[in-house]
């Protein structure tokens, strides 16, 4: 499926495999309920909103290595042919 791919790279200290796995799981399963729990919500909030406007078609991937850095890739599907931007994004 064609679309926009955004890659965010952080060359900082990276994350452990356990933290990467937890973040990947949280991003894939992001929900409003997760945001209500409090704490840090930045990337989860972005995932929830992207999932809402793409009818759960946005994809999220986290890769990295402790001591090396982390890369987050977000894939957003293309607009549907014959629809306006707002209609396509809203899935109407």
- Res 78 pLDDT > 90: no
pLDDT tens digits, one per residue of 11-70: 999 999 999 999 999 899 898 888 887 766 788 899 999 999 888 999 999 999 999 999
What are the sequence ranges of the domains in the chain? Answer: 3-90
Residue 91's pLDDT is 54
pTM of the model: 0.73
* Number of CB atoms found within 10 A of residue 78's CB: 11
Residue 11's pLDDT is 92
Bigger pLDDT: 83 or 92?
A: 83
DSSP string, 40-74: --HHHHHHHHHHHHTTT--EEEEEEETTTEEEEEE
């Amino acid at each position: 499926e064609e679309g926009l791919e955004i890659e965010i790279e952080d060359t900082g200290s990276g994350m452990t495999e356990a933290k990467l796995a937890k973040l990947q799981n949280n991003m894939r399963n992001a929900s409003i309920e997760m945001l209500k729990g409090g704490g840090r919500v930045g990337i989860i909030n972005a995932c929830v909103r992207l999932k809402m406007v793409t009818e759960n078609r946005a994809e999220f991937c986290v890769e990295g290595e402790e001591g090396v850095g982390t890369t987050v890739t977000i894939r957003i599907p293309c607009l549907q042919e014959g629809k306006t931007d707002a209609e396509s994004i809203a899935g109407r």
